[in-house]
Structure 1
Amino acid sequence: MTDVLTNSMTDAVTDAPTDVLIVGSGPTGLTLACDLALRGASVRLIDQRTEPHHESRGKGLQQSSLDIFEGLGVAESLTAIGYEEVVLRKYFDGEHINDTPVAGTGILIGQWQIEGALRERLAGLGVTIEYGARLAGITQDATGVRAELANGSVIEARYLAGCDGGRSTTRKLLGIPFEGSTEEETAMVVGDVRAPGLSRDHWHQWFTSEGGGTMLCPMPGTDTFQLQASPETDEHGEQLPPSLESFQRLFDRHARMPEIRLTDATWLSTWRVNARVAGRMREGRVFLAGDAAHVHPIAGGLGMNTGISDAAALARTLGAALGGEAGEEVLDAYEAERLPVVTEVVADTSRRYERVVEAVRTPGRGIEAGLE
């Protein structure tokens, strides 16, 4: 699949108001943009990043998301790459215990691949992402929204959708509270690495009786693995930042396979347990979707998929408003539909995460506990 080059934001002032300005070009924003464009709406999509990322990040599409993508015309290209079944190979104290096939829940595929397919579809609909555009201010009235960018330019739109992640600038500018909790300490280090000589037929999961573990998941269509591991600490008990060298030490400690050397760490990051929901998902003509509106534990792989469902619901709402099928009261439908859903998802994933943390202490058990 050929990726599509996108434009940088350079215009000082927009030529004419657009129907919907979308902030953030992750899976949520891209899904919303494709859906609205297919409905005939004029769309602009901005992102403060300077270019697309190439990181595995969220790596699973549920069937509900594939159904949405089928309607957008991108499902076929993704199912051609992704794995419909993955085998969890469980080890404990370095010994192979058992294998657990997991199927029927969707496909395993890297987030960068999902975003690439959506960008390509969006370009085919005549929309390009405006990179290097950082939102700095929002004002609105009964007829529309004015979005001021950091470079001083202004975009006028009838509606604005903040799909700009857990640290959402849109949410902060609106003063919407992000209610819930965040654990102070890092729960996991993550990254993309190569592991020459390690079987790519399994999602390897090593845990130990002393606590902690390392997992390596083969990413479809690549020769890389997504690594997830408990953080490494120094002699003072302080957590060390992720690095290839630290990944190798964690792997050696848990996997006990000295012949495997990790290489080419192209993504290094950390993950903390967050369970938060925005106090509201609408402020006048501005809406929140995806991680901008809710963040939660990764157990069950529901994060990206919940954002995709948000986007589909918001596209229906905005499509109805723009099409004149109903009055302004139709705008209430989005929050009424999605806020109870995402609140339950946050609670559900918190319960799933607790089950996984408990399960991995038992030889032969792994992250499948989060799918139960």
Structure 2
Amino acid sequence: MTDCLIVGAGPVGLTMAAELARYGVGVRLIDRAPHATETSKALVVWSRTLELMDRMGCSQAFLEAGLRAPGASIRSGGRTLGHPRFDTIASAYNFALMIPQRDTEGLLAAHARAFGVEVERQVELIGFTEACDGVEARLRHANGYEETVQAPWLLGCDGAHSAVRHGLGLAFTGSAQGDDWLLADVRLDGPGAPPPDEIATYLHRDGPFVIFPIPNGRARVVATVGKTEAGHARPDPTLAEVQALVDRRAGGDIRVSDPVWLTNFRINERKVSEYRRGRVFLAGDAAHIHSPAGGQGMNTGMQDAVNLAWKLAMVIRGMAGEGLLDSYSPERSAVGDLVLRNAGRLTDLATLSNPAAQFARNLALRFLLGLHAVRDRIATDEMDKTHCAFRGSFLVARTTSWRSAEPRLQAPPGRLIRALPV
């Protein structure tokens, strides 16, 4: 029996499907793409997400596949302004786990498969209608065959161009940032290359330049490359253009080679005002997109999924009333607002163009990053979100502590699963 139809089999949809299936809920997971992501895309899994994966039962596979980055550096004009560290995060996973999204999806798909969930590919949601007791969804298969599916709940995990969000008619409010950005997955060599486990940010007068480590000796380079005229598409960068940018912004002692992905992108910052309409829910990029600064996008979406999964499971299995689901949208929307705001501020700070403002920023960073308390706060608040709470949620108001609100769900074949609110 299909209790939940999940649209979109990226990290968010796979997390949703695996968690619901773990609680004994019948799911169907569809995706219109013919295959899983083949590029690196989202790169970092943060501490709170790893804690949730630990509860899900798949953290070890991620730890074995990923690269642990214990800290970062911020540099400008040949000087190091500071070294934020992640080992002060109050978690057993006090590091950034660098792992390409293609590997994340592969590991989550294998985890979901262990609970009997398979992704149905080249199956597209073409429309749906809602009734008082469920949703009627129309699906189209690769061969043109169309089917109608009845399910009590519809979950939109289908990304920034979400068919579920469009079907609900929800506004995706926000804007696109003006600059184009370059992205290059390459190998780096030379005396100027940062340590292979460090996230390195270079604040240059022409714009920021960031190096993210990737497992197996690779790295991602991300940098602003100016504005493109309206209606004109910037061509993908060449390796020579990447090398010239690295020389200009990082000092000329780093060699780039062996590219596997060269592209441009533009930052969009958009969000819906509500994550739920009746029996239809949104999670991940279907509900919120923002600057990649801080690496919070995929993590926030996966945490959306975990939050919704345990609540839906309790309602479907008759352990709670549907009123429990009213907490999902306000809780996760508040987190989305926070991430959107913080990521935007980090991007604005990094892309200052006025020389006087750049000088003041660098001076302030050099001073502040010399203070242990500030470095710790940056690691926890801006990057990891381990201290994120829902003080405004009616769930918190109705309980004396989170622990008294913990649901306990019996998952097949009789294992006791403890699900903490997220």
Shorter-chain TM-score above 0.5: yes
Aligned residue in 2 for 1:119: 109
1:101-122 Cα deviation digits (max 9, x unpaired): 5223542222222222111111
The total of aligned residue pairs comes to: 350
2:255 equivalent to 1:272: no
> Does 1:169 find its partner at 2:157?
no
Q: Distance in 2 between matches of 1:249 and 1:330?
A: 55
Distance of 1:214 and 1:202 partners within structure 2: 14
Q: 1:226 aligns with which of 215, 220, 238?
A: 220
The more displaced of 264-273 and 282-291 is 264-273
| Structure 1 residues 47 and 18, CA gap change in structure 2 (3 angstroms) | same
Select 1:147's aligned residue among 127, 134, 137. 137
Deviations 1:63-82 (A, max 9, x none): 22112111111111212333
Is the partner of 1:30 in helix, strand or coil?
helix
Inter-CA distance 112–149: structure 2 relative to 1 (3 Å threshold): same
Deviation at 1:292, TM superposition (A): 0.8
The secondary structure found in structure 2 opposite 1:315 is helix
Distance in structure 2 (CA, Å) of the matches to 1:279 and 1:99: 37
Q: TM-score, normalised by structure 2?
A: 0.74
Partner of 2:85: 102
1:267, distance to aligned residue in structure 2 (A): 5.2
Greater alpha carbon shift after TM alignment, 133-142 vs 354-363 = 354-363
Q: Distance in 1 between matches of 2:303 and 2:153?
A: 19
Structure 1 counterpart of 2:17, one-letter code? A
Of 234, 248, 255, the match for 1:253: 248
Please tell me the residue identity of whatever aligns with 1:194: R
Q: Cα gap change, 1:269/1:321 in structure 2, threshold over 3 Å: closer, same or farther? A: farther
Aligned partner of residue 86 in structure 2, secondary structure: strand
Residue type at the aligned position of 2:206: G
Equivalent-residue separation in structure 1 for 2:289 and 2:228 (angstroms)? 29
Show the counterpart of 2:298: 304
Shift of residue 173, structure 1, vs aligned partner: 1.2
Residues 252 and 233 from structure 1, CA distance in 2 versus in 1: closer, same or farther, beyond 3 angstroms?
Answer: farther
- Structure 1 residues 265 and 214, CA gap change in structure 2 (3 angstroms): farther
Task: Report whether the alignment pairs 1:294 with 2:292.
Answer: no
Pick aligned residue for 1:206 from 192, 202, 222: 202
Q: Percent identity?
A: 31
* 2:184 equivalent among 188, 191, 195: 191
- Check the 8 A contact 1:352/1:370 in 2, yes or no: no
Q: 2:34 matched to 1:50?
A: yes
One-letter code of the match for 1:154? T
Measure how far apart 1:259 and its partner are.
6.4
* Equivalent position of 2:6 in the other structure: 22
Q: Structure 2 stretches of 5 or more lacking a match? A: 90-94, 370-374, 383-422
Against the structure 1 CA distance between its residues 65 and 248, is the aligned structure 2 distance closer, same or farther, given a 3 Å change threshold? Answer: same
Give, in whole Å, the separation in 1 of the partners of 2:258 and 2:213.
14
Supply the distance in 2 between the matched residues of 1:203 and 1:279 (Cα, whole angstroms): 33
Q: For the residues of structure 1 that align with 2:254 and 2:49, how far apart are their CA atoms?
A: 39
Distance 1:266 1:322 in 2: 43
Q: 2:229 and 2:169 mapped to 1: Cα distance? A: 42
Q: CA deviation at 1:354?
A: 3.1
| TM-score, normalised by the number of residues in structure 1 | 0.83
Task: Say if 1:194 and 1:225, in contact at 8 Å, map to a contact too.
Answer: yes
1:215 aligns with one of 210, 233, 255: 210
C-alpha distance 234-24 of structure 1, shift in aligned 2 (>3 A) = closer
**Runs of at least 5 residues in structure 1 that lack an aligned partner in the other structure:** 1-16
Q: Does 2:17 align with 1:33?
A: yes
1:87 positional shift: 4.3
Question: Quick one: which amino acid aligns to residue 132 of structure 1?
Answer: Q
1:78-89 to 2 correspondences below 5 Å? 78-89=62-73
- Give, as a single letter, the amino acid of the residue that structure 1 aligns with 2:108: L
SS at match of 2:65: coil
Alpha-carbon distance in 2 for matches of 1:261, 1:352: 26
Alpha-carbon RMSD: 3.0
- With over 3 angstroms needed to count, the CA separation of the structure-2 counterparts of 1:235 and 1:290, relative to structure 1, is closer
